[in-house]
Amino acid sequence: MTPTVCLRSVVPPYLLRAVADAAGFPRASSAARTALASLDVVQQPKHEHAVRPQTVSGTVDRSPQRTISDAHGTTTLPGDPVRHEGDPDSGDPAVDEAYTGLGDTHAFWLEVFDRVSIDGAGLPLDATVHYGQDYDNAYWDGSRMVFGDGDGEVFERFTIAVDVIGHELAHGVTQYTADLTYQGQSGALNESISDVFGSLVLQYARRQSAEQASWLIGEGLFTPRVQGVALRSMRAPGTAYDDPVLGKDPQPSTMAGYVETTDDNGGVHTNSGIPNHAFYLAATAIGGNAWDGAGAVWWNALTSESVTASIDFAGFAGVTVDAAATRFGTDSREHTAVQQAWRTVGVLG
């Protein structure tokens, strides 16, 4: 029997709870309660778990195969197809942003790592927009992307941020490679890897170097009424927002702030700040395009047989250090940067 998986959503439950309790945002409060309830839904994925990278034959179509559907404000999936691969702009911003974001993500994986779609074998990229009423989230359900329109008080529509699209599709990449268990430290690594590659998708699309990148996740999702710039910051975890109604970004940047909790599958969206910061430190120390340096190391680690589904921070850090040595050499700037990054965040001694 195929195991079940929980929805992989970009907005963490602790932030949705803060919005749900916000008296100053009545529309957002109602929308957040609905979004919270949806996180309890368990979906059946349409694949075998723990599928390692595949060898792609020359017959596989290497071009993207995108289909964008419209749920028309319902929660019925997939909705009505409204834009297929090669179709012109629809005039609906959510449809066209989703189409472009899926294309940017496909191009990143193909051109940087020669991976054809998220499964490595040309999987069609499907997405549904206008999901639910004022739905405050975007998620990967094991087979497709689903985007809410936001509530207009706290959140804008979720197709705005290319890194959010890259983040959610990276959950699919993890699903088809290491299949990291969504609990505790392996779950935080699962979330962090999605932030890492979501950020790299955006950087690649904009051709930004590590120094030029903002290292924010979900920049532009908050409306001007919120005192915050993004959902998370890889450069400075814990600083993405600080709002009198919604509270302060709770992410730690080092193991000194590691949060022991049973909430959110053991704090997967909170403690992901630690490996996120390690990646940022490594990428900026190496310099240049992050996908060529730290990104390549993280990709080699994610696809390594040494990464088990339940691996912890220290175990994953060790694999990245080995991957940096193998790819760039033990005397390389890359190897030194990766080692030092994990030491700075307190994962390696």
Write the DSSP string, 133-156. Answer: TT---EEE-SS-EEE----SSSB-
Instruction: Write out the catalytic residue numbers.
Output: 168, 269
Pairing of the two strands 66-70 and 125-129? parallel
Peptide bond connecting 78 to the previous residue in cis, omega within 30 degrees of 0: yes
Pairing of the two strands 80-84 and 66-70? antiparallel
**CA-closest candidate to residue 33, choices 25, 274, 294:** 25
Tell me how far apart the alpha carbons of residues 25 and 85 are, in angstroms, rounded to a whole number. 38
- If you ran DSSP here, which 8-state letter would residue 114 be given? -
Q: What's 238-301 look like in SS3? A: CCCEEECCCEECCCCCCHHHCCCCCCHHHHHHHHCHHHHHHHHHHHHHHCCCCCCCHHHHHHHH
Residue 298: what residue type? Answer: W
Tell me how far apart the alpha carbons of residues 284 and 99 are, in angstroms, rounded to a whole number. 30
